[in-house]
Chains A and B, each alone.
Chain A
Amino acid sequence: KQEVTQIPAALSVPEGENLVLNCSFTDSAIYNLQWFRQDPGKGLTSLLLIQSSQREQTSGRLNASLDKSSGRSTLYIAASQPGDSATYLCAVSGGATNKLIFGTGTLLAVQP
């Protein structure tokens, strides 16, 4: 059974700092991995999708990497801003259907 874990559970950094969020999964047979952002009580905003054949994806200040063989992904956020404060979720899809298995999330607070 696929299990997805995110470390750390919470992170507080000063504005302008670069940071890394970690995601690990137990079954390397995935189709893709997605990183989401969720503001309190709000919906899921997709940030980056990495297909299983890819090693990384970049969007603006965000860079996500995938090491499928070791079951790890990282989300790198450059020059963090207070507006980046949110919960970040990673999710993997695989198996017979495309359902997503979500990680436990990292609550990020960027202090002005």
Chain B
Amino acid sequence: AAGVIQSPRHLIKEKRETATLKCYPIPRHDTVYWYQQGPGQDPQFLISFYEKMQSDKGSIPDRFSAQQFSDYHSELNMSSLELGDSALYFCASSLGALVTEAFFGQGTRLTVV
């Protein structure tokens, strides 16, 4: 069965650079979530989209932005990168915005040097 695809799997950037993470949800899934997991931390919700509209927003820095495109894939854009942005970034997708199981991708490991 198709799963959630994230790219790239690993990314190394320098401080103040920009990074773009991509997420391809399971086919027919219309909802995408982004989570950030710092070293030794539990995953923290960043932002979600339902039917290409932002549905919820968590502790996402103003330097980050995201969108969901017409084909339902999503991109997380991160600018002016800081050392503290180094983390695992997970994307999850679900069918519908409520009371449904979310399926997670393998994550993108971002290292800022």
Interface residues of A (CB under 8 A from B): 31-32, 34, 36, 41-44, 46, 49, 51, 89, 91, 93, 96-105
Contacts and interface: CB of A to CB of B under 8 A. Distances in A.
Contact of A99 (B45, B96, B100): B45
A90 B68 CA distance: 27
A59 B94 CA distance: 21
Contacts of A98: 31, 33, 48, 94, 96-100, 102
A96 B54 CA distance: 13
A51 B58 CA distance: 23
Given A41-B109, A97-B48, A97-B55, A34 B101 contact: yes
A97 B101 contact: no
Interface in B63-100: 88, 90, 92, 94, 96-100
A49 B42 CA distance: 18
A18 to B, nearest CB: 25
Nearest to A31: B99
